[in-house]
Amino acid sequence: MPLLIGANEPVLVPDVSQRKVEIIYSFTGAELLAFGAILYPGGRLPDKPAEIAVVLRGPTQSIVVREKQKVAGIWINADSARFRSAPAFYAVASSRPIREMVDERTASIFELGLDNLQLSPAHIGSPGEQQRFEAGLVDLRRRTGLFVQESTSVEITDGVLYRARIAIPARVPVGRYTAETFLIQNGRILAGASRDVEIGKSGFERFVAAAAQNSPFSYGIFAVTLSLALGWAAGALFRRN
């Protein structure tokens, strides 16, 4: 789906290697290939090569970030902040560092880069406090592989073909994702297009997830019963030995 198209502007024709990523019991992560072509008016390449940025983002969610403090030698929860629409997963790949491709205003409008995510904080005091909690959330998800920023990871061939590889971690949340591609030149977004990607569970994992969501009480009883049975079986086995 095109995002920005002008009559005399180039057009992006994007695609992804997988429209659906299935998570099974042995899932250890995956790699999504975003690729496509740049169609220039009249087929003429510009004097200055354009740049590409690809953003893969997952479903938004409300999240509470808590700050821990050490009191009398014990770590306890202190201040907290709630964000109304933080992406569950966010990865950006670009042919050059984002700060070298666009200015801060453009990067903020299109949410290009981890520093430009619009997290919609709620009930946070001073700007300094808001910035501290936003940095904490980004750092936490970056360390778990759910927020990724890779510069110079997009390859452009002959000025018209591009490809970017984005790693999907094993702990990726399920849901509908969007892979957005932006064509950038001289600090301007010339064109953009997107493709949808579905990440979901399959097989036994899908059954368990559906049971937990549709029948939480029955699922809880089953989980407790199964745990007790496995514990009893393990105890009986060790007594025999």
CB 10 within 8 A of CB 182: no
Structural domain boundaries, residue 240 = 203-241
Please indicate, yes or no, whether residues 139 and 218 belong to a single structural domain of this protein: no
What secondary structure does DSSP assign to 113-166, as a single string?
SGGG----EES--SHHHHHHHHHHHHHHHHHTTSEEEETT-EEEETTTEEEEEE
Two tokens at 45?
Answer: 């390449």
Please indicate, yes or no, whether residues 229 and 172 belong to a single structural domain of this protein: no
Residues 27-34 have a mean pLDDT of: 90
Please indicate, yes or no, whether residues 222 and 117 belong to a single structural domain of this protein: no
> Which of 27-31, 69-73, 132-136, 194-198 is predicted least confidently?
69-73
Please indicate, yes or no, whether residues 193 and 207 belong to a single structural domain of this protein: no
Specify the CATH number for the domain of residue 37: 2.60.40.1930
pLDDT at residue 220, rounded to an integer: 59
Distance CA 27, CA 206 (A): 13
Please indicate, yes or no, whether residues 42 and 98 belong to a single structural domain of this protein: yes
pTM: 0.76
For the chain, the residue count is: 241
Please indicate, yes or no, whether residues 184 and 211 belong to a single structural domain of this protein: no
Write the CB contacts of 20 (distance below 8 Å, at least 6 apart in sequence). 197, 198, 199, 200
